Amino acid sequence: MPVKDQEKAKAPSALPLQTVAEELAFVRKAFKDLVNTYATQIESELTHMHAVVVAEAASKKKLPASRGTDLRDMLMLLRSLEVKPAKGRRRDLKKVETMVEDLKSIVDRWE
C-alpha cells in the first residue's frame, strides 16, 4: 500500500468517530433510564410494603399469631442487609432486590 493511501486511511475523517460518539451517548442515556426505572420499581415495592405494615399497625383488629412470626422474619431480613452504597456495586443491588422479593413474598400472604 502506498504511503499516501495509508495516511488517508488513518485520517480522522475516515474513522467513525462521530458514529461511535453518538452510540456512546445513546448507551449512556439508555443506562440512565434503565437505572432510574429499576430504582423506581424497587422503591415502589418498598413503599407498598411500608404502607401495608403501617396499615396493619393502625388496624384495631386482632392479628393472627402468624403475623407476628412474619414480622420477626421481615425484621431479621431487614437487619441482615449489608451493603456499601458508596461503592456502587451490582452485587449490593442484587442483595437489595433479593431482600425486597423475600419481603414481598411475606407481605403478599397477608392480602
- Whether 102 is covered by a domain: the verdict is yes
Q: Domain residues for 59?
A: 16-110
Within 1-111, residue ranges assigned H as helices are 3-10, 17-58, 65-80, 90-110
Number of domains in the chain: 1
Contacts of 45 (CB under 8 A, 6+ apart): 100, 104
The tens digit of pLDDT for each residue in 53-97 reads 999 989 888 889 999 999 999 999 999 999 999 999 999 999 999
The CA distance from 107 to 62, in Å, is: 17
Whether 8 shows a pLDDT value over 90: the answer reads no
- Whether 23 is covered by a domain: the verdict is yes
The pLDDT assigned to 20 comes to 96
Answer yes or no: pTM beyond 0.85.
no
The pLDDT assigned to 66 comes to 93
